[in-house]
C-alpha cells in the first residue's frame, strides 16, 4: 500500500470538496479502491500506486476545470472522471475563449465538447442545427453567439422565435391578451438574454426592434437580413412552418435551429418539420449539424440521469418492436 498527500494551492478547496463534502463524495465514488481523506487544503490518498497515479491525473483535470470556468458541478465531476476519450482534456487545454461578458460579472463560455463544436460550427456556417436533449445548453449557446454577433456589429438585430405549441396545457385557458398568452412559451429566451445584457438594455433593444422575440407564425412573409435568427424548440414546427422559416433567410444572416427530436408536442398525425429537415438537408453544403447527448447536460446531475434512463427505455422499446 502507498500513501500520498496532494495539496490544493491554485483554487479554493471548497470548489473541489463542496459544502459538507458533497462533491468529494462524488469523487470518492469513482475511486472505490482508494481511501481518500480531505482536510483543509490537503487530500490524503491510501491505496495501490497505479490507482493513486490515476487519481492524480484525473484530479488535475478537476483543478483545470475550476481555473478555466470558475466552477465545478457534480455533472462536471462525473464527466471528467468517467470520460476516457481525451476530448474533455483537449477542451481544458485549449484556448479559453469568452463568448460574452454577461451581467453580474458572468463570463459566458462553451463548457462542454459539443458546446464548443456548436460555437465553431456557427462561426464557419450561416445555418447550423443544434440537436439533442434538454439541459445541454443548445439554446443558451446560440443566444450567446447571437449576443456576441450583435455586440461586435456583425449583425443589426437578433430574432428569436419558437412554435407556440401547447405541451399538455391549453393555450386558450391562459390569462391575458395574445402577447401575455404567448410570453410563457418565450420565457427561456428572455432568461438567456438577461444573462447576456442588463435587463434595461434588453428592454431598450426590444422596444427599438434590435431584439425581436415572436412566435414562429409571425415570421411568415418576412425577409430576415443582417440578423442572427434562432428557431428554438424546432421539433414542434410542422413541415410547412419549417420550410417557411428556412426560406426567410436574407443577406448577411445567421440561422441557428435548436431542438430535441425526442420531445415532439405536435398532434400524433402531424410529423415534425425538424425530423424531416434533418433527412432532407443532411448533405446540403453550408449547413452543419451538431448533435448533443447526455454528457453535455449542464443542469442538475439528475437531469443527465433522467435522460439516460428514458433513452434506455426507448432503446428497449425499439428492440422489442424489431423482434
Please give the Cα distance from 68 to 116 (Å, whole number): 14
pLDDT of residue 319: 63
* pLDDT band of 213, cuts 50, 70, 90: confident
Asked whether the beta carbons of 90 and 67 are under 8 A apart, the reply is: no
Residue 10 has pLDDT above 50, yes or no: yes
* pLDDT band of 170, cuts 50, 70, 90: very low
Residue 169 has pLDDT above 50, yes or no: no
Give the per-residue SS3 of 284-319: CCCEEEEECCHHHCCCCHHHHHHHHHHHHHHHHHHH
159 Rama sector, left if φ>0, alpha if ψ -120 to 50, beta otherwise:
beta
The yes/no answer on whether domain 2-92 falls in CATH 3.40.50.2000 is: no
Encode pLDDT of 293-323 as tens digits: 877 776 666 776 777 787 778 767 666 655 5
Residue 178 has pLDDT above 70, yes or no: no
Encode pLDDT of 56-98 as tens digits: 999 998 988 888 777 788 877 887 887 665 666 666 666 557 7
Q: DSSP states of 36-80 as a string?
A: EEEETTEEEEEE-HHHHHHHHHHHHHHHHHHHHHS---HHHHHHH
Q: What is the mean pLDDT of residues 184-193?
A: 80
Q: What is the mean pLDDT of residues 130-139?
A: 90
Q: Domain coordinates of the chain in residue numbers?
A: 2-92, 97-322
Q: Say what percent of the chain tops pLDDT 90.
A: 43
- Locate 286 and state its grid cell: 453550408
Asked whether the beta carbons of 80 and 54 are under 8 A apart, the reply is: no
Q: What is the mean pLDDT of residues 146-150?
A: 93
pLDDT of residue 84: 60
* pLDDT band of 15, cuts 50, 70, 90: confident
Which strand (E) or helix (H) includes residue 35? strand 35-39
pLDDT of residue 301: 65
State the Cα angle at 165 between 162 and 170, rounded to 5°.
Answer: 140
Q: Say what percent of the chain tops pLDDT 70.
A: 84
Closest CA to 231 of 165, 150, 297: 165
Q: What is the mean pLDDT of residues 224-235?
A: 94
Please give the Cα distance from 19 to 122 (Å, whole number): 38
* pLDDT band of 179, cuts 50, 70, 90: low
pLDDT of residue 117: 92
Encode pLDDT of 263-279 as tens digits: 888 888 889 999 999 99
Name the architecture of domain 97-322.
3-Layer(aba) Sandwich (3.40)
Amino acid at each position: 500500500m502507498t500513501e500520498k498527500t496532494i495539496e490544493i494551492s491554485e483554487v479554493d478547496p471548497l470548489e473541489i470538496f463542496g459544502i459538507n463534502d458533497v462533491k468529494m463524495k462524488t469523487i470518492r465514488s469513482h475511486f472505490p479502491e482508494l481511501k481518500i481523506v480531505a482536510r483543509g487544503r490537503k487530500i490524503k490518498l491510501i491505496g495501490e500506486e497505479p490507482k493513486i497515479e490515476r487519481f492524480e491525473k484525473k484530479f488535475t483535470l478537476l483543478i483545470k476545470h475550476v481555473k478555466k470556468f470558475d466552477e465545478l458541478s457534480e455533472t462536471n465531476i462525473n464527466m471528467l472522471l468517467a470520460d476516457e476519450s481525451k476530448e474533455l482534456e483537449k477542451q481544458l487545454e485549449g484556448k479559453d475563449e469568452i463568448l460574452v461578458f454577461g451581467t453580474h460579472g458572468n463570463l459566458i463560455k462553451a463548457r462542454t465538447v459539443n458546446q464548443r463544436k456548436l460555437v465553431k460550427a456557427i462561426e464557419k456556417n450561416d445555418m447550423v442545427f443544434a440537436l439533442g436533449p434538454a439541459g445541454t445548453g443548445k439554446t443558451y449557446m446560440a443566444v450567446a453567439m447571437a449576443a456576441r454577433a450583435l455586440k461586435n456589429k456583425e449583425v443589426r438585430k437578433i430574432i428569436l422565435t419558437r412554435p407556440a405549441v401547447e405541451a399538455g396545457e391549453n393555450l386558450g385557458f391562459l390569462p391575458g391578451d395574445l402577447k401575455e398568452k404567448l410570453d410563457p412559451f418565450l420565457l427561456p429566451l428572455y432568461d438567456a438574454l438577461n444573462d447576456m445584457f442588463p435587463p434595461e438594455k434588453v428592454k431598450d433593444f426590444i422596444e427599438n426592434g434590435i431584439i425581436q422575440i415572436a412566435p414562429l407564425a409571425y415570421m411568415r412573409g418576412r425577409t430576415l437580413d443582417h440578423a442572427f435568427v434562432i428557431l428554438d424548440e424546432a421539433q414542434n414546427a410542422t413541415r410547412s412552418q419549417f420550410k417557411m422559416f428556412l426560406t426567410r433567410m436574407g443577406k448577411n444572416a445567421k440561422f441557428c435551429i435548436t431542438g430535441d427530436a425526442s420531445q415532439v408536442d405536435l398532434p400524433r398525425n402531424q410529423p415534425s418539420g425538424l425530423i424531416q429537415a434533418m433527412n432532407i438537408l443532411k448533405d446540403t453544403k453550408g449547413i452543419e449539424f451538431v448533435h448533443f447527448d447526455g454528457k453535455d447536460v449542464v443542469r442538475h446531475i439528475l437531469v443527465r440521469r433522467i435522460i439516460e434512463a428514458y433513452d434506455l427505455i426507448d432503446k428497449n422499446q425499439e428492440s422489442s418492436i424489431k423482434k
